Structure formats: C-alpha cells, structure tokens
C-alpha cells in the first residue's frame, strides 16, 4: 500500500491557487493583527486591505506565528486520516513559526517539518518540488531530507521601490531610507543562510530597474534548474509584471513561469511595488 502523503506549508509560501489546487497542497495561515482586530493571512484579509489601512492610519499590521495548538490540531487531523505530512515553514531566522510547528510535530511519528530558510516563493519552490516528489512515489522522509538539501540552492531576491515599509517596520534606519529615496535607489534584497541582506542597489525608474535586475539574476540561465521560476510581486502594475515575465522568457527556456502575489505577511514588511524572481540553482549559493 502506497504511503498517503500530504504536502503542506504556512501561508508565507505565497503559492497561487492554481498550484495549490494542482498538487492538493494545504496551507496553514499565520495571523495578522490590524488595530484591535485579528485576521488570518489570506482568509479574511488581503494585502490591499493592509495598504489601504496604512494610507489611512500610517500604521502597519503585526504578524503572528502559527501557534503550537493550531499546528498540533492540523497534524492530528491529517495523521488520523492516514497521512504522512511534510510541512514547510518560513525561515526559522525570521519567525518562531518553525519552532512552534517543529514542537507540535514531535508528538507525531509521521510528520516532517522543513525549515525552508527562506520566505515567499523561495519556500514555495521547495513546496512544489516536494509535491512533485510525492507524485513520483518518494516517501515523506525522503522528501523532507531532499528538500532540506535543496534549501541552499534556492535563489530568492526582490527589488523594493521604496523603503517606507521596511523603515516603519524597524528593518532599516530613517537615514538609510531618506538617502535611498533621495538618490532614487532601489535596493535588491537577497535571502541567504535564512536571513535577508542587501545584495545590491539599482538607480532609476522602477520598471527599468526591474528589467535590469531580472537580467542580472538569470544571466544566461546555464546555472539554473529550468523546471520553473516564480515572478512574485506585492502589488506592482500589471504592465510592469508582464514586462518582467516577458524578460524571463526571453532569457531562458523555463518549463513553467508562475506569477504569484505576495500574501499579507510578506506584503506588510515590504510594501507595494516589490518584485522578485525566485528559482533553484544547480549548485549551492556561494
């Protein structure tokens, strides 16, 4: 009898509905508090709600990790129905979600938790890879082990048009934000070793900057696994997104190019007009 495997993730993987439905992926959402109200990421609040509230109040929401009780209930439901579960979380360096979920999983023999050491579709790439492995008959333990090894090959980055949200969220100084805006600098944020850092800076109009950024990240495509790539954004104009997708397709023959919208957790930290290209390299990042 084949092992029944459920591939699941927290809501920060930012997968689109098409992929979630294609692979039967289950999503366990993080919490979002805005003012005195509590919401559930992707369920009863959208990134546009966050942006509208910020424009009215000047305050950002707070996000909360998946708690022990929610993770335990989730695992209990599926293991009692005969599933082995492989669950993916946002980097343990960025949230306590991994610690809570890992603790919950310790009560179950057939639950495996993977720290993606990433965020957004950087983690989503691993979730989809796991779903493909499950479809091809790999065991849950094999899938978790392989995905843990893949984390170092995920190339995740994004370019931010304005540092306003990062500044408001305490992730960059007022001086840095002022200087970047004054010089029209657009920072490229990269994820490496589970943490975010500035990987470079661009200058100019945002749409032009993004095309240069896409070309810089992909190069000639020879070092990239060409199965799939994500173009993930936090509310960019359709024309800008379409131009970036066209550039991606021009540079390398990717099997699938997925456009996804960043969810509430990611959007609340980076703000509108953020876009990244995310893919898996053939070799670990240096």
Sign of CA dihedral 166, 87, 190, 99: positive
For the stretch 255-272, what's the b/e string if a residue is b when 16 or more beta carbons lie within 10 angstroms of its beta carbon? eebbbbbbbbbbbbbbbb
Q: What share of the chain is helix, strand, coil (3-state, %, to 5)?
A: 40, 30, 30
CATH number of 4-33+63-150: 3.40.50.10170
CA atoms within 13 A on the CB side of 197: 5
Please report, for the chain, the start and end positions of each structural domain, with discontinuous segments joined by +.
4-33+63-150, 153-280
pLDDT at 166: 56
Question: Scanning the structure block, which residue is given the tokens 């890879």?
Answer: 129
CB 143 within 8 A of CB 130: yes
The packing angle between helices 140-150 and 121-135, to 10°, is: 150
Cα(229)–Cα(239) distance, integer angstroms: 19
Cα(151)–Cα(129) distance, integer angstroms: 11
Tell me if 4-33+63-150 shares its fold with 153-280: no
Tell me the whole-structure pTM to 2 decimals.
0.93
Cα(135)–Cα(130) distance, integer angstroms: 9
Q: What DSSP designation does 162 have?
A: -
Q: What is the fold, at CATH topology level, of the domain defined by 153-280? A: Hypothetical Protein Tm841; Chain: A;domain 3 (3.30.1180)
Among 273, 243, 245, 239, residue whose Cα is nearest residue 259: 245
pLDDT at 184: 61
Which residues are bridge partners to 197 per DSSP?
190
Please enumerate in sequence order all residues whose Cβ is within 8 A of that of 227, keeping only pairs 6 or more positions apart, or say none. Answer: 254, 255, 256, 280
Per-residue pLDDT 10s for the chain (286 aa) are 578 999 999 999 999 999 999 999 999 999 999 888 999 998 999 999 988 988 898 888 888 999 999 999 999 999 999 999 999 999 999 999 999 999 999 999 999 999 999 999 999 999 999 999 999 999 999 999 999 999 999 999 999 886 654 545 444 433 343 334 434 678 888 999 998 888 888 988 999 999 999 999 999 999 999 999 999 999 899 999 999 999 999 999 999 999 999 999 888 877 888 999 999 999 999 7
Tokens, residue 261: 């919208």
The packing angle between helices 206-218 and 238-251, to 10°, is: 20
């Amino acid at each position: 009898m084949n092992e029944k495997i459920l591939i699941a993730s927290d809501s920060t993987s930012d997968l689109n509905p098409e992929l979630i439905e294609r692979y039967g992926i289950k999503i366990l959402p993080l919490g979002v508090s805005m003012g005195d109200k509590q919401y559930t990421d992707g369920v009863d609040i959208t990134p546009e709600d966050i942006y509208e509230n910020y424009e009215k109040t000047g305050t950002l929401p707070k996000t909360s990790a998946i708690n022990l009780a929610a993770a335990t209930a989730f695992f209990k439901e599926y293991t009692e129905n005969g599933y082995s579960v492989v669950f993916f979380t946002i980097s343990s360096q960025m949230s306590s979600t991994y610690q809570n979920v890992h603790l919950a999983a310790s009560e179950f023999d057939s639950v495996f938790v993977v720290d993606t050491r990433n965020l957004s579709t950087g983690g989503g790439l691993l979730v989809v890879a796991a779903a493909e492995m499950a479809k091809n008959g790999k065991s849950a333990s094999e899938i978790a082990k392989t995905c843990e090894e893949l984390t170092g090959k995920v190339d995740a980055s994004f370019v931010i048009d304005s540092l306003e949200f990062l500044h408001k969220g305490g992730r960059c100084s007022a001086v840095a934000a002022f200087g970047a805006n004054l010089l029209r600098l657009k920072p490229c944020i990269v994820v490496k070793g589970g943490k975010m850092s500035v990987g470079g800076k661009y200058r100019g109009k945002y749409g032009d900057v993004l095309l240069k950024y896409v070309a810089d990240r992909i190069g000639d495509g020879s070092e990239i696994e060409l199965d799939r790539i994500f173009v993930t954004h936090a509310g960019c104009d359709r024309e800008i997104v379409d131009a970036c997708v066209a550039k991606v397709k021009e540079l390398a023959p990717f099997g699938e190019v997925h456009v996804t919208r960043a969810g509430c957790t990611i959007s609340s930290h980076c703000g509108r007009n953020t876009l990244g290209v995310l893919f898996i390299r053939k070799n670990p990042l240096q």
